[in-house]
Structures are given as C-alpha cells and as structure tokens.
Amino acid sequence: MTTSDRTQSVPASSEAGTALPPAVGYGRYALRQIGYRLGQLIILLLGITALLFFLLRLTGDPALVLVGDLASDEAIERVREFYGLDKPLIVQYLLFLGQAAQLNFGTSLQSFRPALDVVLEHLPATLLLAAAAVTINIVVALVVGTWLGYRPDRPERRAGLLAVIVSQGIPGFVVGLILIQLFAVTWGLLPSIGIDGPKSLILPALTLASFLLPRVIRLTATNVDQAMRQDYVRTARASGARPRSVLGRHALPNAVIGTVALIGVQFGFLLSGSLITETLFAWPGIGLLLIEAVRALDYPIVQASVFVIALLVFVVNTATDLLFPLLDPRLRSQRA
C-alpha cells in the first residue's frame, strides 16, 4: 500500500536468501529469489482472479450488458449459452482458470477481440509513461536529495526539507490537475490529452512522477546524511580527501542504491498512480483501459489487465531483488 515505504526499504520477510552463508554464490541466491517471487506471483494471481471472478459476476448480469435492455429473452439465453454464462459459477471459474493458464482470458465484451491482445496493445504506453516517471524520480531525487542530505543542518536545507514534507501532502491527481490548469489551459504550452508527439509525454510523466517524488527525495536525503556519517567516510576525510570527493566517491554510490531500491519496491504504487494519471490525461495505457473496463463491466479485459499488471510488478520486484546484492556487496554478506 501507499505508506509501505515509511518502514520498508527492501523486501522484508523473504525467507529465501536468509539462510545463505556468505560463501554461497550469487547464482543460488538469484534462483531462490526468483523461485520465491514466482510463488508469490502464483498465490497473488490465484487469489485475485478468484476474488475478481466472483465479485465481478455479482455486479450485474454480463449477458444483459452485452445485449442491452431491450433484447428478447431468447436473445439473452443465446448469449448466456454462447459465453458459458449459464453454467454454475464454480464451473465457470475452473473453466476460466484452465483457459487463463493458456493465457486465454476470453474476448472483450466491447470490441469482441481477445482480451490479452487488447491489454498488450496498451502496454507500451504504460511502460513509456512509467519509464519517464522513474527517470524523473531518479534524477530529481539524486540532485535535490543529495543537496538536502549533504548538510542537513543548514537553514536553507531545513527549509527545503520542510518544503518536501509539505509537498508530500499534495495528492498526485491534484498535481496533475494543477499542471493541466497552468500549462495546458492557461498558458496553452503543452497538450493534456492523449499521445501526440514527445511534448504530450511531459505533463503525464511529471504527474506520475509526483506520486513518488517527495518520499524518494526524503529517502535519498536520509541516506546521504547517513552515509556521510559512516566510518569509511570518516576515514576518507581523515586521510585528507576533500568533502566533495568523499561525497561523490563514497557516500553517493551508497545512497543511490537505496533510492533505486525504493523506486523498485514502490513500483506497484507507481502503477496505482498510473491508473489516475492515464485517466486524467486520456493516456491510452493499461490504467485507462482497466478503469473503462470496470465501468463497462468488461470482465475479460479487467482480468487480463490485472494479470498483466501483476506480471509487471513481479518482473520489476524480482529485478530489484536480483540487482541489489550486485550493487551492494554488504547485502550479500548480511544475509549470512
């Protein structure tokens, strides 16, 4: 959930990897971690598909949605039969699971095309937006966070930190609305709807970035501050290295690891933000697709979207797990 970052910097209870003696190589750690995350993915998918499958079918009769209110009883019956909606729910679910295992989520109730195809068509837009937001986060957090954390006691940096704390109280979609109001409506500088050239990426990317930015800046500031107090930094300074070179060579690389880790762990939260951002800017990604599918009760699309989103989170989280011991050898020995 949203606040998870306040206590969590690295995935926590992963029991895989815990029993590793330092001598055990990276390969085995990686395999265990992938296995653990895969197990998570399967549990998640089973849980969520079951929840969605039964809940979505409670909302209304999909057959009625398909044929409209004015259709004859006979037409409704035929549609029910065609889509297997006349079978008991549990049978429908098992049939669904069998098909989902073969990546067949059925056809969209709106466009009558394979649901997974429709979702995958929307994937590049979401990936583009997420990549832009992550890039903005890393760059801004490193610049501002380092500045704030390097000498946190200076008055202007205290004021800066306060500004970051205050900005944490501004919800992402409010940021988006304000950006639209200023840059698109009042000044007419940037487009605010759809994908149309690189300029149209700017406002959505800034909006999505704002969902994570304050907390990423805060963590970077904390990490830089902490790193500057480590023994190795003191040693470097005692042996005559200038403060700035100590920062660049020793403190910063360690702080970067934490920044990237937080973004990796919070990727799921970023996707939550993309639901709102994509709707706000009519950005044709999975988020917008999912919201519209929920409104239209187009459940094959809902299920396929949720599947792809879960997969995306799995890939990013696993990559984060695998990356960090490579970047930070201390993590490997700590796991002993």
Partner 1 sequence: MTVSEQEVKRAGLTRQAIGRLYRGVPGLLIAGFIGLIITIVLTIWGVDLSGFDPGAQSLADRLLPPLTDGHLLGTDQLGRDVFSRVSVGFRWSVPVGLLATAIAATIGSLAGVAAAWKTGWVRSVLTRMMDVAISFPYLVLAVTIIAVVGHSFWALVLTLGLVSWVSFARVIYAETLRLREREYLVAARLLGNSALRIATTYVARGLRHTIAVMYAFIFADLLVAEAGLSFLGLGAPLGAPSWGNMLAASREHLFTAPWLMYAPAAAVILVVLTANLIGDGLIQHWGRGTTQH
In the 8-state DSSP scheme, what is residue 4?
G
Interacting residue with partner 1 among 63, 133, 142, 161 (CB under 8 A): 161
User: Nearer to partner 1 by C-beta: 14 or 241?
Assistant: 14
Judge contact between 257 and 320, C-beta under 8 A: no
Question: What string marks each residue from 305 to 334 as x (binds partner 1 by CB under 8 A) or -?
Answer: xx--xx--xx--x----------------x
Q: Does 110 bind partner 1 (CB under 8 A)?
A: no
Which residue, 302, 241, 242, is CA-closest to 110?
Answer: 302
Shortest distance, position 314 Cβ to partner 1, whole Å: 8
Shortest distance, position 38 Cβ to partner 1, whole Å: 12
Shortest distance, position 210 Cβ to partner 1, whole Å: 12
Shortest distance, position 25 Cβ to partner 1, whole Å: 19
Interacting residue with partner 1 among 69, 73, 74, 153 (CB under 8 A): 153
Q: Does 245 bind partner 1 (CB under 8 A)?
A: no
User: Nearer to partner 1 by C-beta: 170 or 326?
Assistant: 170
Reduced to 3 states (helix: H, G, I; strand: E, B; else coil), residue 74 is: helix
Q: Does 302 bind partner 1 (CB under 8 A)?
A: yes
Distances (CA, A) of 244 to 140, 238, 250: 19, 14, 10
Q: Does 9 bind partner 1 (CB under 8 A)?
A: yes
Q: Does 165 bind partner 1 (CB under 8 A)?
A: yes
DSSP 209-264: HHHHHHHHHHHHHHHHHHHTTSHHHHHHHHTT--HHHHIIIIIHHHHHHHHHHHHH
Q: Does 244 bind partner 1 (CB under 8 A)?
A: no
User: Rule CB under 8 A: which of 257-276 touch partner 1?
Assistant: 265, 268-269, 271-273, 275-276
Interacting residue with partner 1 among 21, 23, 27, 58 (CB under 8 A): 58
User: Nearer to partner 1 by C-beta: 169 or 198?
Assistant: 169
Per CB under 8 A, which region of 11-19, 125-133, 196-204, 238-246 contacts partner 1? 11-19
DSSP 105-166: --B-TTT-SBHHHHHHHHHHHHHHHHHHHHHHHHHHHHHHHHHHHHSTTSHHHHHHHHHHHH
Point out which residues pair with 107 in neighbouring strands: 114
Q: Which residues of 143-164 are buried (b: 16+ CB within 10 A; e: fewer)?
A: ebbbbbbbeeeeeebeebbeeb
Helix axes 299-327, 286-296, angle to 10 degrees: 150
Shortest distance, position 81 Cβ to partner 1, whole Å: 24
Amino acid at 164: V
Shortest distance, position 253 Cβ to partner 1, whole Å: 18
In the numeric block, the tokens 């055990």 are attached to: 24
In the 8-state DSSP scheme, what is residue 8?
-
Q: Does 23 bind partner 1 (CB under 8 A)?
A: no
